[in-house]
């Protein structure tokens, strides 16, 4: 166990764990977007799906604790690696070489930090009902929690529309570079694989952002109603 921790705390070990946990979080974001797309099938579909996810509390809480652990490892080890890198090079580069680095790769710390703030806000909004409690206890005619009504109510408010769309921009940038670089960290060095990995990040990020933005805009524009 102690040896495992020693390996984990080496620079390479930390990079591998950051990559693996990043892939885990990306998997959650894709799964979450696919689940949320059921809003297009109507209230019965989304509310039944949300109820199904909560039917087995042991499974729900194991998934929640697992997700939290993955997120803590991802953020904690990323910060540790950044401090380590800064200590290794106390004098910054005289000229920053930005020509080859994309905007997404240069802004990973910023987009990651802002995403963390968004996720805390999002949990207080939809899961805990602290930001807006109006739909927290409401049930649909089948006795399920009215998650559909809560989502529709949220995006009928232009402030939430702007905030959630901005968060999609952050998510797109972070996921696009993070996914490609995680796959490259874990992958074998091969020109074909490298090209595939480089394309995977922007492709998955694009799909997630489009899916989430479609939900927000369909409600904001009145295509989906309560």
> In angstroms, what is the minimal distance from the CB of 16 to ligand HEM?
22
- According to the binding rule CB under 6 A, does residue 212 interact with ligand HEM? yes
What CA–CA distances, in Å, run from 205 to 6, 30, 58, 199, 211? 33, 9, 31, 10, 10
- According to the binding rule CB under 6 A, does residue 18 interact with ligand HEM? no
Pick between residue 176 and residue 212 the one whose CB is nearest to ligand HEM. 212
- According to the binding rule CB under 6 A, does residue 36 interact with ligand HEM? yes
| Interface with ligand HEM (CB under 6 A), residue from 17, 173, 216, 220 | 216
Question: Which window, 12-20, 94-102, 117-125, 186-194, contacts ligand HEM (CB under 6 A)?
Answer: 117-125
Answer positive or negative: Cα dihedral of 70, 110, 117, 203: negative
- According to the binding rule CB under 6 A, does residue 114 interact with ligand HEM? no
- According to the binding rule CB under 6 A, does residue 173 interact with ligand HEM? no
- According to the binding rule CB under 6 A, does residue 164 interact with ligand HEM? yes
Residues 137, 152: Cα–Cα separation, whole Å: 15
SS3 state of residue 139: strand
Residues 201, 179: Cα–Cα separation, whole Å: 5
Site for ligand HEM, rule CB under 6 A: 29, 32, 36, 50, 64, 119, 122-123, 126-127, 147, 151, 164, 171, 212, 215-216
């Amino acid at each position: 166990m102690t040896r495992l921790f020693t390996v984990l705390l080496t620079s390479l070990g930390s990079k591998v764990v950051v990559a693996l946990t990043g892939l885990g979080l990306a998997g959650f974001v894709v799964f979450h977007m696919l689940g949320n797309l059921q809003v297009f099938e109507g209230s019965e579909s989304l509310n039944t799906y949300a109820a199904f996810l909560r039917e087995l509390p042991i499974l729900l809480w194991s998934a929640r604790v697992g997700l939290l652990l993955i997120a803590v490892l991802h953020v904690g080890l990323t910060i540790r690696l950044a401090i380590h890198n800064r200590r290794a090079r106390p004098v910054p580069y005289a000229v920053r070489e930005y020509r080859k680095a994309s905007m997404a790769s240069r802004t990973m710390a910023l987009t990651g930090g802002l995403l963390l703030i968004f996720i805390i806000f999002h949990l207080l909004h939809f899961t805990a009902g602290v930001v807006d409690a109006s739909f927290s206890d409401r049930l649909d005619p089948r006795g399920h929690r009215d998650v559909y009504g809560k989502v529709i109510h949220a995006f009928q408010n232009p402030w939430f529309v702007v905030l959630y769309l901005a968060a999609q921009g952050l998510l797109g940038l972070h996921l696009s570079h993070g996914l490609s670089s995680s796959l490259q960290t874990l992958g074998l060095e091969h020109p074909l694989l490298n090209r595939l990995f480089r394309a995977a990040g922007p492709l998955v990020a694009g799909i997630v952002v489009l899916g989430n933005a479609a939900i927000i805009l369909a409600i904001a524009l009145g295509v989906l109603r309560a």
